[in-house]
Amino acid sequence: MAALRDPRIRASQDTIAKSLVGDYRREHLFTLRQSVDLYREYQRQIAACEEEIQRLMKGLETKADPAVSLPPAKDSVKKCKVMVPAKAMALREEAYRILAVDLTTNRN
């Protein structure tokens, strides 16, 4: 595991390897197992929520003119994606389709 450390970590591989050696008591392993199970369940629930959001957004009326494409995002605008298993929906483009307004631009 020490060999998989992030390159930004300054500790040596030996130091990390030594820190992984410990007293793994049964109660700690039980708690860790429960935490991992809960994390996986939360990830499953988040994915289900994102799928429902995507389904509902796709059902909303298109107000944008299909002949007019959304201008490219500026470098300051990070692409926001809703991650759905095996696919991602571009929220900026979907919001533009629904509202016919680019919400990522700052217009006064």
Across the chain, mean pLDDT equals 83
Coil, strand or helix at 84:
strand
pLDDT at residue 86, rounded to an integer:
42
Give the pTM: 0.59
pLDDT at residue 59, rounded to an integer:
94
pLDDT in tens, 47-100: 999 899 989 999 999 999 888 888 777 655 555 555 544 455 578 888 889 999
Residue 43 neighbours by CB under 8 Å, 6+ apart: none
Q: At what angle do helices 91-99 and 26-58 cross, to 10 degrees?
A: 30
